[in-house]
Amino acid sequence: MISVTLVGSGNVAHHLANALSNAPNVVLDRWVVRTPSSVLIDINTKFSEKFDEPSSSQIIILAISDDAIADYSASLNQSDALLVHTSGSVNLHHMDKKHRRGVFYPLQTFSKNKPLEFSSIPICIEALQKEDLNLLTALADALGCKSRVISSEQRLALHLAAVFVNNFSNQMYRIAHEITDGARLDFDLLKPLILETAMKVQDLSPYQAQTGPALRKDQKTIKRHLKQLEKENHRLIYELITKSIQQTHGK
């Protein structure tokens, strides 16, 4: 049985709390939440507003903002627990060295009100000691997740890549939503295309999956699109992405 204390109340913390509380061979000893009323799920655990008492947990998970990790780890008293954070961009060594330190990074996008299958999420783990890596592997296994040992430098690169495939693509959806709204069209018409685009890269490389006027070097369509775009920043994005596609494919 693996005992865990969870700190944080954001999107990642909510999904982790739900997964930990339902996992076999895992006990969520305590959930430290600054405002317990912000918790949107019903789970059986002890809540604390502050981390102001000794923890008997084997693992303490800091699912808090990146900027708070270093200071928060420094504020905690040294214990026998393994202290880990869930950030994609914070180096393992940014946590106070008085602790046993590690990383338990679930590579996924999280929203409190959007359910997801936690067992489908890859967990990137890192620790300074082999026994701590084994403990984090065991925790990922208990959650039904596949884990992979990844260094802080690799994790930073992975997080950067994730920004492109998730955050930037979501902004593209937002721009597309503005375009369809402007033409009095339903954005839902694009959803099958969005799904097929995501499914295609499960079998093909992004390079192989690329299509469209930039790849074909269809200058008439490209000029027509640029003329349609009313916002200057949308035109700049269109031109930049078009140029990037053509450079990638040698056009």
Q: Are 121 and 107 in contact (CB under 8 A)?
A: yes
Q: What is the pLDDT of residue 136?
A: 98
* Residues 128-173 pLDDT 10s: 999 999 999 999 999 999 999 999 999 999 999 999 999 999 999 9
Whole-model pTM: value is 0.90
For residues 89 and 60, give the distance between their C-alpha atoms in angstroms, rounded to a whole number.
19
Residue 4 has pLDDT above 60, yes or no: yes
| Sequence ranges of the chain with CATH classification 3.40.50.720 | 2-150
Question: How far is residue 50 CA from its own chain's centroid?
Answer: 25
Report how far apart, in Å, the C-alpha atoms of 83 and of each of 57, 101, 117, 211, 241 are.
10, 5, 25, 46, 41
Please check whether residue 61 is in contact with residue 84, taking contact to mean a CB–CB distance below 8 angstroms: yes
Residue 36: the pLDDT is: 67
- pLDDT reported for residue 53: 65
114-136: average pLDDT: 95
Strand partners, 31: 6, 47
Q: Which CATH number, 3.40.50.720, 3.40.190.10, 3.20.20.70, 3.30.565.10, labels domain 2-150?
A: 3.40.50.720
Q: State how far the Cα of 91 lies from the Cα of 158, in Å rounded to an integer.
A: 13
Secondary structure element (H or E) that encloses residue 12, with its range = helix 11-22
120 to 96, 152, 216, 225: CA distances (angstroms): 31, 22, 36, 38
**In this predicted model, what pLDDT tens digit does every residue of 28-46 receive, in sequence order?**
999 898 776 667 667 777 7
249, 210 Cβ separation under 8 angstroms: yes
Q: What is the pLDDT of residue 46?
A: 78
Q: Tell me which CATH homologous superfamily contains domain 155-248.
A: ProC-like, C-terminal domain (1.10.1040.20)
Tally of residues, the chain = 251
Q: d(Cα 155, Cα 216) in Å, to the nearest integer?
A: 35
Q: Where in the chain is the domain with CATH 1.10.1040.20?
A: 155-248
